[in-house]
Structure 1
Amino acid sequence: MPSAASMRVLVVDDQQSMRLLVRDGLTKLGFTDVDEAGDGEDGLRRQIANPAQLVIADFNMPKLDGIALLRAIRLHPPTSKTAYIMLTGRADKDLVQKAVQFGVNNYIVKPFTVETLREKIEAVFGPLT
């Protein structure tokens, strides 16, 4: 059972309001170490410089979309095992299959609740403490 307070999370989304919603949800779940990036390139730089145990990233972003970010994280040996949850407004089959092909651990469809966020994280890590 991982402790939410002991985990580092990186939230990557080009919409500041969505980053704030995810951060707020994570805070309610007990996470205290949350970093943010406004696009995939910045997210990749931050993940390489100071790896998080969990990346929650939007699919549709400028510079580097969520799939490209996932691929880059998986190809970089020090970050290749990072848990990755895709955040998207699209739940279409092709997107989900492509994300699974590149190693996504789970996905959240917008809009979401704090309880959904908890369920998706716990599906990857087990019950949070």
Structure 2
Amino acid sequence: MPAASAISVLVVDDQLTIRALVRSGLQQLGFKDIREAADGEAALRELLAKPAHLVISDYNMPKLDGLGLLRAVRAHPPFRTIAFIMLTGRADTDLVQRAVQFGVNNYLVKPFTVQVLKEKIEAVFGALTA
């Protein structure tokens, strides 16, 4: 069981309010190392500066969208093992299939509860401890 406090997370969303909601949920679950980026390009710069264990990324963003970020993460050997959860307001089956094709680990539909966030993360990492 990994401790939530040992998992570093990068939250990527162009909306500050969504980043704040995800950060708050993660903090309630015991996560301590949480960084943020406003788009896919900024996220890649963050990951190059300091890799994360988990990326929670919105799909629809300017500059580089979530699928583009996922593809870039999976194409860069040092990042290939980073867990990736796609966050979106669209439960679009085509989008889900494309994300799965590019190696997404899980999918989170907005709006979400802290319990659902926990379940999606635990589906990737196993049961979390505080």
TM-score interval, smaller chain? over 0.9
TM-score (norm 1): 0.99
Q: In 2, Cα distance between the equivalents of 1:88 and 1:111? A: 9
Partner of 1:98: 98
TM-score (norm 2): 0.98
Q: How far does residue 49 in structure 1 lie from its aligned partner after superposition? A: 1.5
Q: In 1, Cα distance between the equivalents of 2:124 and 2:32? A: 19
Q: In 2, Cα distance between the equivalents of 1:14 and 1:81? A: 24
Q: How far does residue 47 in structure 1 lie from its aligned partner after superposition? A: 1.1
Alignment gaps of 5+ in structure 1: none
Q: How far does residue 48 in structure 1 lie from its aligned partner after superposition? A: 1.8
* Deviation >3 Å, runs of 4+: none
The answer on 1:68 being equivalent to 2:68 is yes
**Higher mean displacement: 104-113 or 39-48:** 39-48
Q: How far does residue 92 in structure 1 lie from its aligned partner after superposition? A: 0.8
Percent of pairs identical after alignment? 68
Partner SS, residue 71 of structure 1: helix
Partner of 2:31: 31
Q: In 2, Cα distance between the equivalents of 1:61 and 1:88? A: 10
Matching residue's letter, 1:122: E
Alpha-carbon RMSD: 0.4
Q: In 2, Cα distance between the equivalents of 1:48 and 1:97? A: 27
Measured against aligned partners, the alpha-carbon deviations of 1:30-53 in whole angstroms (never above 9, x if no partner) come to 000000000110001101210000
